[in-house]
Chains A and B, each alone.
Chain A
Amino acid sequence: KQEVTQIPAALSVPEGENLVLNCSFTDSAIYNLQWFRQDPGKGLTSLLLIQSSQREQTSGRLNASLDKSSGRSTLYIAASQPGDSATYLCAVEGNSKLTFGKGITLSVRP
């Protein structure tokens, strides 16, 4: 059974800091990995998708990497802003379904 872990559960940083959010998974036989953002009381917004043949993806200040052999992915956020405050979810795709981590709740202090 695939298990996805995101540690820590919560993180508070000052504005402007570069930060890394970690995601680990137990079964390396995944096809794809997707990072989502969720604001309180809202739905899931897809941030980045890394397909199995790729090692990283970039969108603006966000960069996500995938190392299947070690069962890890990282989401790098450059020059964090208060608007980045949200919960960040990592999900691995295998056998036509997603398995989620419990998320990291990020707070960026002005």
Chain B
Amino acid sequence: NAGVTQTPKFQVLKTGQSMTLQCAQDMNHEYMSWYRQDPGMGLRLIHYSVGAGITDQGEVPNGYNVSRSTTEDFPLRLLSAAPSQTSVYFCASSTPSPYYGYTFGSGTRLTVV
């Protein structure tokens, strides 16, 4: 099925560990973005990309790193995990033309202990 695939679905990290959340889409979408969802805070943009080789910061970028070497993949790296990064992470993709809105992955539930 075409769509946005996120791995892993669940992850527990210890404080200070690093890891990469994977996001891949097979729709040839130019736009990809990462959001985190926290109770009472809604979904907030972490980083986004408008094409391979182009990334930019969103509302809450600190502690996260991204790169976009291919159109299909947009991994999110946690450099040194902190308990404040415990959250549900969603990846999304879209294309500007024709525009059909954003498609979201099923999410990664991350717990940092």
Contacts and interface: CB of A to CB of B under 8 A. Distances in A.
A49 B48 contact: no
A80 B104 CA distance: 25
B82 interface: no
Interface in B48-72: 48, 50, 58
Nearest to B30: A96
Contacts of A32: 99, 101
Interface residues of B, number: 24
Contact of B42 (A34, A46, A97, A100): A100
Contacts of A91: 43, 102
Interface of B: 31, 33, 35, 40-45, 48, 50, 58, 90, 92, 96, 99-107
Interface of A: 31-32, 34, 36, 42-44, 46, 49, 51, 89, 91, 93, 96-103
19 contacts: A32-B99, A34-B101, A42-B107, A43-B104, A44-B90, A49-B100, A49-B101, A89-B43, A91-B102, A93-B102, A96-B96, A97-B31, A97-B33, A97-B48, A98-B35, A98-B45, A100-B35, A102-B40, A102-B42
